[in-house]
Amino acid sequence: MPGRTRRDTLAFWLFVGPFLAGLAIFAYLPIGWSTFLSFFDARNTVTPTRFVGLENYVAMLGNEAFLASLGTFSLFALLIVPVTFVLSLALALGVNQLRFARAFFRSVFFLPFACSYVVASLVWKTSLFSGVRYGLANSLLGLFGIDPVAWTGTADPPLYWVVLVTARLWLQLGFYMILFIAALQRIPGQLYEAAAIDGAKPGWQVFRYITLPQLRATSIAVLLLLLINAYQAFDEFYNILGDSDGYPPYARPPLVYLYYTSLGSGGQDLGRGSAGAVILALLITVVTLFHGRLFRERR
């Protein structure tokens, strides 16, 4: 037994060790260094030069553009999270009920998730919503006699949100659909048989009282992942809106704003950029804890 225990321990560390090492090197170490750097004046260098205490945090919390990005993307999260949740659950229910070609449709809807966010953003910007007469969106509008629209322009109303939201929905719906399908397949068939015997009507009644409660754990996980991903939006905004010079401050998500603060040509203030990153991380942590407590209290 002792020899077997040692072998099991060795096998455990052989499998888990590389992952933990990578997590420490590429996640925890950068987070720790960024937190340390946020208390220093570090311009054009990752080497701390002068300790400034909370000065960087005060500057970022007093920066209207940064606060506007946080506020706007809180509203963005309130929009994209429920829409993605409902659509991915609807897709999962539909695909799971198919009697043929189920694997095909699972693959079709999941494939966009494997696509690069950068590539998808460029396709959305240059082909679907290019703003020229022969772009796909404007070609469809032309069928109804509507003039071409500058989808990624800075005019009012801000139509670039249509491009951004549709790109994100296309990219992530398939992933969350797969999560829901996996959860649906774990629901015991006996529950539906018992519901039918008790007179439950197929459709909304069965979904409300059988299916949805059984999806509780997966639903909580999906909502949490959606919230975190909403605040971490970067690729589609950076590639669709470009350098964002002509757009209002709230059009920049927090990560894009921090990117220009830390690595832009206007000073490369890594100290303030790190402080902003810590503030964003704390905001995500608070939202996550609130989310967990809210659902825990509703059990």
- pLDDT tens sequence across 10-58: 888 888 888 889 888 888 888 888 888 889 888 877 777 788 888 989 9
Which is higher by pLDDT, 274 or 8? 274
Overall pTM > 0.85: no
Full domain range(s) for residue 286: 38-297
Residue 16, in any domain of the structure: no
Q: Are 239 and 120 in contact (CB under 8 A)?
A: no
Q: At what angle do helices 29-37 and 270-297 cross, to 10 degrees?
A: 120
Is pLDDT at 264 greater than 70 in this prediction?
no
Return d(Cα 84, Cα 90) in angstroms, integer: 10
Residue labelled with tokens 């109303």: 157
Return d(Cα 38, Cα 213) in angstroms, integer: 44
Q: Count other C-beta atoms under 10 Å from residue 10's C-beta.
A: 11
Is pLDDT at 1 greater than 60 in this prediction?
no
Is pLDDT at 297 greater than 60 in this prediction?
no
Residue 23, in any domain of the structure: no
Sequence-distant (6+) residues with CB within 8 A of 102 are 95, 96
CATH number for position 169: 1.10.3720.10
Q: Are 280 and 255 in contact (CB under 8 A)?
A: yes
pLDDT given for residue 269 in this prediction: 82
Residue 1, in any domain of the structure: no
SS3 160: helix
Average pLDDT for the chain: 82
pLDDT given for residue 295 in this prediction: 66
Is pLDDT at 241 greater than 70 in this prediction?
yes
Percent of residues, the chain, with pLDDT higher than 90: 9
Return d(Cα 47, Cα 41) in angstroms, integer: 9
Q: Count Cα atoms within 13 angstroms, Cβ side, for 95.
A: 28
Is pLDDT at 178 greater than 90 in this prediction?
yes
Residue 5, in any domain of the structure: no
Residue 13, in any domain of the structure: no
Residue 135, in any domain of the structure: yes
**Structural domains in the chain (count):** 1
pLDDT given for residue 211 in this prediction: 87
Task: Report angle CA 153, 155, 156 to the nearest 5 degrees.
Answer: 130
Percent of residues, the chain, with pLDDT higher than 70: 91
Residue 153, in any domain of the structure: yes
Residue 171, in any domain of the structure: yes
Q: Residue 208: what residue type?
A: R
